[in-house]
Every structure is written in structure tokens, then in C-alpha cells.
């Protein structure tokens, strides 16, 4: 269904358009990689999607297409989402003046932070996806959200961090202005006490000038945090 190459023409972001054009996203990724010396594993290509499918997704509130990159290797030929998230968080710290991170949301504790076992593996290199902000899930637990996911749709992992770190840092400012919801990263699992007790997931927000990453219990509800969904293009 997603095999026809289409250059989707969208204007660069302004107050009425949250998403950069695919071409602009590619340029931002290339510029960022040169600046911070990230090893990009593949060349970014324009997204392949039928125009009718793109129109349908956008009418349903999906944002995109959005460009992400999988770094590292999980030992099975896929990218390492913990490593990918770590690189993105480091970039967030360099890009935003004030940051805060809960001690449990630590990408340097790979035994205590992971891509949830049921989540689709992310490819190495660049990949495209649509994202739905997920405001309808503000009063839903992560566990309930995961159970309700339809086939081919998943939650966010490193993608949420890369949005704020690379292509769409303006989303953080919109969060602070209450024009865009805080985000829960439902495809990550966190074991806060280090005993394989994976019962929390990370949450991204900006408040009082601080871009933060906290954690929330997967059985709890957090009305200020939406739970975005990700619709992969051609890799899942």
C-alpha cells in the first residue's frame, strides 16, 4: 500500500502547521549530524506513501511524515533504541537551555531501560512514520493503551526524543504554552529499582523553561500527558 514514491509538499512549520516538510527534515538531520558528529547509517530518502493514504491520515489527525534515525545495533540486526534515545537526550541537553531528567530515566542503565518486548523493532538508519498526538489517551494507562493498539501501530520510543532534539524542537515551546500536549513514550519500559521490575515509562514535557524527562507508572493515569501513536511507513 505504501510503495509509490510521493513528494508531499508542505510548508515549513508555522503557527498553523506543526510539521516540517520531508525535504526540510532531511536537511535538519544532515546539519545536526555534522554538528554533533553523529554516524548516520544510511542516506535519507523521501517517504514512500500513496497520496490518498497521506490525505486520509492527515484528516484523522496524524502528523507527518516524520523522519527518525535508528542508531546502534540490538544484536539482531535492528537499531538499539536505548542508544538512540541516549544520543537524542544528549542533544536535547545541548539544544535547550534548561533540562531535567529523573534518575530512573537513565539510558546509561541499559539493563533497566528497554524497548518493550512486544514493540516492533526499529530499523537501522533513517525511517519515516506518522504520529498521532494521542490526546484522547490522557486518562488512559500505558497498559490499556498498549492493549488497544491496532495492528501496525505502536507507541513512541526514541522518536519522541528525536522530535525535540532534531527536527521539531518547537514542540517543546508549544508544550510550555499549553498548545501541544506533554508526551508519554509508551514503547519504552523502565525498571526504577533495577530488579527487572519494568513498571514505568518515560514522559517528556516542558514547564517553566525546563525540558524534562520523568517517568510514570504504566498502571497510572496522568491527565497532562498524551500518549502518542506511531504509524510506520514501510518498516513494520
- The 10s digit of each residue's pLDDT in 20-57 is 999 999 999 999 999 999 999 999 999 999 899 999 99
**Could you give the CA distance from residue 210 to residue 205 in angstroms, rounded to a whole number?**
8
How would residue 110 be classed by pLDDT, with cut points 50, 70 and 90? confident
- pTM (2 d.p.): 0.92
Beta bridge partners of 131: 63, 230
Is residue 2 predicted with pLDDT exceeding 50?
no
70: which residues sit within 8 A by CB, 6+ positions away?
41, 78, 79, 80, 81, 84, 122, 123, 124, 125, 127, 158
Query: Which pLDDT score is estimated for 94?
Result: 94
Q: Contact, 113 vs 30, CB < 8 A?
A: no
Q: Contact, 128 vs 121, CB < 8 A?
A: no
Query: Which pLDDT score is estimated for 212?
Result: 98
Segment 159-175 mean pLDDT: 97
**Could you give the CA distance from residue 186 to residue 189 in angstroms, rounded to a whole number?**
8
Least trusted range by pLDDT, from 4-18, 19-33, 100-114: 4-18
Is residue 120 predicted with pLDDT exceeding 60?
yes
How would residue 99 be classed by pLDDT, with cut points 50, 70 and 90? very high
Helix axes 22-36, 81-95, angle to 10 degrees: 80
How would residue 222 be classed by pLDDT, with cut points 50, 70 and 90? very high
> In the chain, what percentage of residues exceed pLDDT 90?
86
> In the chain, what percentage of residues exceed pLDDT 70?
92
Query: Which pLDDT score is estimated for 11?
Result: 34
Asked if residue 65 has a cis previous peptide bond (ω within 30° of 0), the answer is: yes
Distances (CA, A) of 118 to 50, 75, 155, 159, 223: 28, 17, 11, 17, 25
**Could you give the CA distance from residue 173 to residue 180 in angstroms, rounded to a whole number?**
9
Mean pLDDT of the chain: 91
**Could you give the CA distance from residue 55 to residue 233 in angstroms, rounded to a whole number?**
14
141: which residues sit within 8 A by CB, 6+ positions away?
218, 219, 220, 221
More confident residue, 133 or 110: 133
Amino acid at each position: 500500500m505504501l510503495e509509490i514514491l510521493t513528494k508531499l509538499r508542505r510548508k515549513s512549520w508555522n503557527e498553523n502547521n506543526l510539521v516540517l516538510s520531508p525535504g526540510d527534515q532531511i536537511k535538519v538531520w544532515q546539519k545536526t549530524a555534522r554538528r554533533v558528529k553523529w554516524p548516520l547509517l544510511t542516506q535519507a530518502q523521501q517517504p514512500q506513501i500513496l497520496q490518498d493514504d497521506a490525505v486520509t491520515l492527515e484528516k484523522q489527525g496524524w502528523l507527518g511524515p516524520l523522519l527518525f534515525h535508528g542508531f546502534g545495533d540490538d544484536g539482531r540486526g535492528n537499531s538499539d533504541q536505548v542508544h538512540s534515545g541516549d544520543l537524542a537526550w544528549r542533544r536535547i541537553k545541548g539544544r535547550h537551555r534548561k533540562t531535567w531528567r529523573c534518575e530512573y530515566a537513565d539510558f546509561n542503565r541499559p539493563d533497566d531501560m528497554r524497548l518493550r518486548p512486544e514493540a516492533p523493532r526499529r530499523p537501522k538508519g533513517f525511517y519515516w512514520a506518522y504520529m498521532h498526538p494521542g490526546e484522547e489517551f490522557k486518562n488512559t494507562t500505558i497498559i490499556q493503551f498498549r492493549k488497544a493498539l491496532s495492528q501496525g501501530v505502536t507507541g513512541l520510543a526514541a522518536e519522541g526524543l528525536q522530535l525535540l532534539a532534531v527536527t521539531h524542537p518547537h514542540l517543546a515551546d508549544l508544550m510550555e504554552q499549553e498548545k501541544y500536549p506533554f508526551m508519554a513514550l509508551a514503547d519504552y519500559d523502565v525498571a526504577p529499582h533495577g530488579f527487572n521490575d519494568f513498571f514505568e515509562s518515560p514522559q517528556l514535557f516542558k514547564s517553566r523553561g525546563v525540558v524534562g524527562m520523568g517517568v510514570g507508572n504504566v498502571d497510572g493515569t496522568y491527565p497532562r500527558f498524551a500518549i502518542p501513536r506511531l504509524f510506520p511507513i514501510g518498516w513494520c
